[in-house]
Structure formats: C-alpha cells, structure tokens
A = this chain, B = another copy of it.
Amino acid sequence: MDPKIRLYVRDQLCDAQIISLERNQANYLFAVMRQKVSDHILIFNNSDGEWLAEIISGSKRVVRLRCLNKIRPSLAPPDVWLFFSPIKKSRTDFIVEKATELGVAKIFPTHSEFTNSERINQSRLQAHAIEAAEQCGGTYVPKVHTICKLIDTLENWPEARNIFFCNEDNLKPIRNLSSFPNGAWAIFIGPEGGFSQNEKNHFLKHPKTFSVSLGPRILRADTAVVSALTLWQSNFGDWI
C-alpha cells in the first residue's frame, strides 16, 4: 500500500539522510496517525522534491526518519508573488490554501484603505500553507509574510517586478494579456470594498503596472485570487 502521510520538513533531503521531526509532527505521526517504527511516509522540502522515508525510531515527542528514495522532483512555482487584503478568517485561510495549490513563490497579506481586518496571525497562516501543500501533493510551501502596507509597498517597489493589477474599472479586453512582458510578477487583489481612488492612482502611475479585468461580474476577494492566479499561470506561468 502506498504511504498516504505527507509531511513538509525544513531539512535537506538526500539518500540515507537522517531527519528528526519536531514535537508537533512527532505527535501527529505517533498519536494521531498511529504510525510505528519501520512504517513509511512521504516527506518533501522546498528544493529536494518528495522522498519516501522510513521511521527508524520514535515516540510522540521525537521521531527519526531515514530517506529511502526520491519519488518526485521538486516543482518550484514561477517567480510570482501574491498581495491580498485579509478578509474574514475562513476566507483568508482559503486564499492561502488556494495560492499554495496554484503555485506562488511568496504571499503578502496587505493592509489597504478599505481592509476590514487589521491583524493576521502570520504563523497560523504559514502553518495553513504547509498543510495545503501536504494535502494537495505540492512540493513547495510559499513563505507567508507579516502584514505590509499597500502604499509603502508600492513606494519601495523592486525595480524589475511587474504588477498584475486586478482593477474592477478596467474594461480592456482580456486578450491584451498576450502583450504583457515576461519576467517577475506580483498579483494585487483588493479587499471586498476594492481599492480606494488614491490607491488606484498609485497603481496607475506606476511604470510597472498592467491592469487586468476579471470579467463583468463582481467577484468576492477569495474568488478573485483564484481567477487572477489562473489567468497569470495560464499566460505567463508554468501552465502554458
């Protein structure tokens, strides 16, 4: 029977490498999943792909694994970042889950003028990204950053990165996407109330901004994240 348990680890993975799991993962393996010594699980990190590993010793407090063989190569996402505005808890979790599945390099919760939710729990969202990658079979966990401010971010923008600005005012046909440049990108999704006029002006005067329409209907912020990432991946990413 194929091992079903998949865990993300931070250690380097290579032939015969010994890995120690932290307390939470040890508890999950031994107390929740009732694993025992000599059982096999799958482990992955952000650079060495997915490996079959054998449990060589352990308890609910500490587990040691040995890497047996590489099952799948690493599939790192293209160089795209996601900036989104935190909304209510379950939908923010959903955004982090879907961004991880669809493939982004970094996730930036962003405070903008109409953001309702002032605070995020960065470590909880990072744990959610890890769980999403473990469950969907991914081999990359994007870094979830602490909350940033939209205007500060735009004023200190890295010179070479293009801005995929999801702009509900934009009526240009979506076919225009084919004229956008390749290279590094960042996708910006506003809060439920949209971006303020001042924020829109900041985007529109920025030389790296490309405006994108997400159709004639009003999309919720969580839907907009999945749609924007799908458009980006299918035009510039690794879905091509």
B230/A226 in contact, CB under 8 A: yes
Please name all residues of chain B whose beta carbon is closer than 8 Å to the beta carbon of A237 when the two chains form the complex.
215
Tell which of A41-49, A63-71, A198-206, A216-224 binds the partner.
Answer: A216-224
B103/A215 in contact, CB under 8 A: yes
How many angstroms between the C-alpha atoms of A220 and B102 in the bound complex? 10
- Interface size of A by CB at 8 A reads 32
B136/A102 in contact, CB under 8 A: no
A219/B101 in contact, CB under 8 A: yes
B75/A227 in contact, CB under 8 A: no
How many angstroms between the C-alpha atoms of A223 and B95 in the bound complex? 11
Q: Which among B137, B173, B220 is the interface contact of A218 at CB below 8 angstroms?
A: B137
How many angstroms between the C-alpha atoms of A99 and B215 in the bound complex? 14
A219/B174 in contact, CB under 8 A: no
Q: Does A88 reach chain B (CB closer than 8 Å)?
A: no
A226 closest partner in B (C-beta): B226
Please name all residues of chain B whose beta carbon is closer than 8 Å to the beta carbon of A231 when the two chains form the complex.
230, 234
Q: Does A80 reach chain B (CB closer than 8 Å)?
A: no
Q: Which among B174, B218, B220, B223 is the interface contact of A239 at CB below 8 angstroms?
A: B174
Q: Does A142 reach chain B (CB closer than 8 Å)?
A: no
Given contacts A102-B227, A175-B240, A226-B226, contact A233 B220 (CB under 8 A): no
How many angstroms between the C-alpha atoms of A217 and B73 in the bound complex? 12
Question: What 4 pairs across the A-B complex have the smallest Cβ distances?
Answer: A215-B239, A226-B226, A137-B218, A230-B230
